[in-house]
Amino acid sequence: MNFTRLKLYHYPATRSVRVKWLLHELLGDDFDVEVVPVYDCAQYSPQYLEKNPNHNVPTLEIALDNGERRMMLESGAMVALLADLFPEKALAPAPGVFSVERADYLQMLHFATTSMDIMLWQIRVHTHLLGAEKDEKTLLRYRGKFSAEVEPQLKARMAEHDYICGDQFSAVDCIMGPNILWAQAYGLCQNDVFSDYMSRLSARPAFAQAYSDLADFSLDIPEEKRAAWQEKFTG
């Protein structure tokens, strides 16, 4: 069994950009993209919930050669699978045998999509997404944790190597780069080492393709959509 076509359900500058960037690295433009207008609550529609009951983006729809369609719902899992499916692109250390490179690659992939992501999400939620429920103490706690626990780890890596897992670009950079941009949007990761890292990433053509729709994103929910959106938002 093999896949015949990939379709990404996407919204600009969200977690789905991780997968969109990697798909451009692997396939150019030979995949499908459907925009899910999240500020219009399209992720809560019955049609979308059939695909993704977690009501978020991304969703990766995989068309199989037996006619079935399967959905993937976690961006980290999508990145890991896609990188392994195209070994000729050399964006992931080879699976199947132990290597310290593979161990480090998986470590940073999961760090970026769990520990780091959780902190960034709480910062975003308590800055822009919650209304009266947002909590200043929670916001300050996660900003402090990120500055004290995440940034030093990343700075040490980036001071020694061009990319997050060494001197070769990997699929993990497709996650870490957007995370750094996310952090910078909230005044974090301001050291020059992060700017230098992002300069290297943004020079890649696939990066520009992944962010070609950035103008359609805003950190703030449009005011005319806020009430309806917050009624459905569950965090």
Average pLDDT over residues 166-190: 98
For all residues of the chain together, what is the average pLDDT?
96
CB 62 within 8 A of CB 69: yes
Please tell me the predicted confidence (pLDDT) of residue 229.
Answer: 83
177's tokens: 């780069």
Same topology, domains 3-91+211-232 and 100-203? Answer is no
Domain boundaries, the chain: 3-91+211-232, 100-203
CB 111 within 8 A of CB 140: no
The model's pLDDT over 131-152, given as tens digits with 9 standing for 90+, comes to 778 899 999 999 999 999 999 9
Residue-wise over 132-148: b if at least 16 C-beta within 10 A, else e?
eeeeeeebeebbeebbe
State yes or no: pLDDT of 48 exceeds 90: yes
C-alpha count within 13 angstroms, C-beta hemisphere, residue 190: 5
Residue-wise over 172-190: b if at least 16 C-beta within 10 A, else e?
bbbbbbbbbbbbebbebbe
CATH number of 3-91+211-232: 3.40.30.10
85's tokens: 């499916």
Which CATH architecture describes the domain 100-203? Up-down Bundle (1.20)
State yes or no: pLDDT of 217 exceeds 80: yes
Instruction: Name beta bridge partners: 7.
Output: 32, 61
The model's pLDDT over 87-113, given as tens digits with 9 standing for 90+, comes to 999 999 999 999 999 999 999 999 999
The model's pLDDT over 179-188, given as tens digits with 9 standing for 90+, comes to 999 999 999 9
Assign 192 a pLDDT band (cuts: 50, 70, 90): very high
